[in-house]
Amino acid sequence: MSRVFGSIRAKATLGATLVVAVALVAAGVAVLLSLRGNLSDRADADADNAARQVASQLAARTPYKDLDLPDGEDHPVQVVDEDDRVLAASEDLEAIHGTGASAVRPVPAPGADRDDDEDDAPGPGELGEVTRHTTGRATVDGDEAAYRFAEVEVDDLRDETVRVYAGAPLEAQRSAVGTAATAMLIGFPLLLLVVAGTTWLVTRRALRPVEGIRAEMAAITASEDLSRRVPEPDAHDEVARLARTTNETLTALEASVERQRRFVADASHELRSPIASLRTQLEVGAAHPELLDVPGAVADTVRLQQLAADLLLLARLDAGERPGEARLDLAAFVREEVSQRAGDRVPVAVRAVDEGLELAGSRSQLGRVLGNLLDNAQRHARSRITVEAHAEGGVAVLAVADDGDGVPDAERERIFQRFVRLDDARSRDDGGAGLGLAIARDVAERHGGRLTVGRSPEGGALFRVELPLGG
């Protein structure tokens, strides 16, 4: 149960339902308030009309006993003077609250219904505007109901200002609001059920490919078969992109594992040769001391030591070892490295080196880069090897060129793979393990640079190391 309610489908359904519920409640409240306000405005208008009709009669000097009052049930009317004495009221009005005067029986004021001669009759009275609206209750013919009252001031036939109260029933308003509220209380839960059900079904269909991806990944983990791939939906949505990215990751992982297996196999092969040769020489020397080849044993030991150092460096690079932040002067660095190669088969010439260029990184690792490039040039050069160092486009460029046969275009990327040796290189130098150029490129990339190969002006190979300037 907890697994179901903790799923993305359940969370999406719950979230969508809550959002819709909040929106419906807010919309429902707004509709009810708007409906109530509109109906209240309509009741105010009805009360205004009723009050102004009575007030118009008084303004026309109509005696109170001759007032034509509207039906009390629809529009209860009350006329009071400034002393809150009731001068006129609807005939069937039994009680009223909310108008300021609770009496419902008229108490005529002196001279309120006098019969003036035509010559002495005053002119029309002044009819005022509606001054306020109030909500109250009135009892008409024994039925009590809520009303909206309007108040109008007017001058009567005595030239005294009186107040006319007329009401409009609120029953229709409250009935309409109640009906709307009932409809919402019934309709909202049904609508929420529809939203929840639709969201549940839609998310289940949308997430079905995710379950397929998960199941296939679980099977890949259990079988350790990295050649398998997760199913890719035909859609162009996020799930399809997830499946494609997962397959790309599996492809990269498969290639990485394959490289690792090939690396282990090649390393085992490369280690087996010097170890076997060294063992054979030692066994022969143990049995026949006069036949012990000490120079050969030393050479095999040096070769084994160099191979072990290369493998250890590659392991550290693969583990993500960060280069140091030491500063070194490129010109002094190049001259020092070249000066240590006095015994090389082909002399190394420093042709052009810019002064004042600083690099940040590991002195030993960058020394390994230049050393490996020079070792590679020694294997292929005929009579000339040159080294250059200069600034170019905001980076430091370290170039090593030779006058050998160069690197074929088709092989210019493959030579940087581990344990890759071209046939001519293997025949000319059995001691090479094919790790030098791979190490040089890895170190250059760890220092934020790159290593490429092209053709030198002399026709041989030109290796360019581009490194960011450290200062």
Tell me, what's the pLDDT at 118? 44
Each residue's pLDDT tens digit, 349-407: 998 888 888 988 888 899 999 999 999 999 999 999 999 999 988 899 999 999 999 99
Tokens 């581009």 — which residue? 466
**What is the CATH number assigned to the segment(s) 238-316?**
1.10.287
**390 three-class SS:** strand
CA distances to 84, 95, 155, 335, 371 from 395, rounded to whole Å, are 100, 100, 100, 19, 20
Tell me, what's the pLDDT at 200? 86
**What is the CATH number assigned to the segment(s) 323-468?**
3.30.565.10
Each residue's pLDDT tens digit, 242-263: 888 988 998 988 887 887 777 7
Each residue's pLDDT tens digit, 32-65: 888 888 888 888 888 888 888 888 888 888 888 8
Per the model's pLDDT, the better-predicted residue between 33 and 315 turns out to be: 33
Each residue's pLDDT tens digit, 121-168: 455 656 667 778 888 888 888 888 888 899 888 888 788 888 899 988
Report the share of the chain in percent with pLDDT over 70.
91
| DSSP 8-state symbol, 149 | E
State how far the Cα of 35 lies from the Cα of 51, in Å rounded to an integer: 24
| DSSP sequence for 450-471 | EEEEEE-TTSSEEEEEEEEB--
Domain limits of the chain?
14-176, 238-316, 323-468
Confidence of residue 471 (pLDDT cuts 50, 70, 90): low
Per the model's pLDDT, the better-predicted residue between 360 and 323 turns out to be: 360
Q: Is 234 exposed, middle or buried (0-12, 13-18, 19+ CB in 10 A)?
A: exposed
State how far the Cα of 297 lies from the Cα of 189, in Å rounded to an integer: 90
Q: Are 375 and 440 in contact (CB under 8 A)?
A: no
Confidence of residue 119 (pLDDT cuts 50, 70, 90): very low
Each residue's pLDDT tens digit, 450-470: 999 999 988 899 999 999 987
On average, the pLDDT of the chain sits at: 83
| Main-chain phi, psi angles of 109, to 5 degrees | -85, 155
State how far the Cα of 466 lies from the Cα of 146, in Å rounded to an integer: 91
Confidence of residue 5 (pLDDT cuts 50, 70, 90): low
Tell me, what's the pLDDT at 418? 81
Burial profile 11-47: b = 16 or more Cβ within 10 angstroms, e = fewer = ebbeebbeebbeebeeebeeebeebbeebbeebbebb
Strand-by-strand arrangement of the 385-392 sheet: 348-353, 385-392, 395-402, 461-468, 450-455
| Main-chain phi, psi angles of 386, to 5 degrees | -125, 150
Query: CA torsion 187→190→195→196, rounded to 10°?
Result: 150
pTM of the full structure: 0.51
Q: Can you tell me the mean pLDDT for 281-300?
A: 78
In this structure, the strands spanning 395-402 and 461-468 are antiparallel
State how far the Cα of 203 lies from the Cα of 207, in Å rounded to an integer: 6
Tell me, what's the pLDDT at 34? 86
Confidence of residue 94 (pLDDT cuts 50, 70, 90): confident
Confidence of residue 427 (pLDDT cuts 50, 70, 90): very low
Tell me, what's the pLDDT at 425? 45
Q: Can you tell me the mean pLDDT for 231-238?
A: 81
